[in-house]
Amino acid sequence: MAGITTDNASNNKKAFQQDFTWVPCFGHNLHLAINKGLDIDRVTKDVPTAEEITKRFATARTQTDP
């Protein structure tokens, strides 16, 4: 049994699916899903707030470390 993993481009799927078990790349799918999720307006608006909170916690920790 032989298999191949590629990104989801239709040309890759078509080229390899006839002769091999074709498996789409999990990492590529995960990357696409994360990017799509980050395009949501609410997420785009909330990322700077999350970054600011993270910076404040990091700063507070360095100020209290001996």
Domains of the chain by residue range:
3-64
Q: Of the spans 19-23, 34-38, 39-43, 57-61, which averages the highest pLDDT? A: 34-38
Are β-strands 3-6 and 21-24 bridged in parallel, bridged antiparallel, or unpaired? parallel
Cβ-contact 22, 4 below 8 angstroms = yes
**Does the pLDDT value for residue 42 go beyond 90?**
no
pLDDT at position 21: 82
Give 22's strand partners. Answer: 4
Average pLDDT over residues 10-33: 85
Q: 5 Cβ partners below 8 Å, 6+ apart?
A: 22, 23, 24, 25
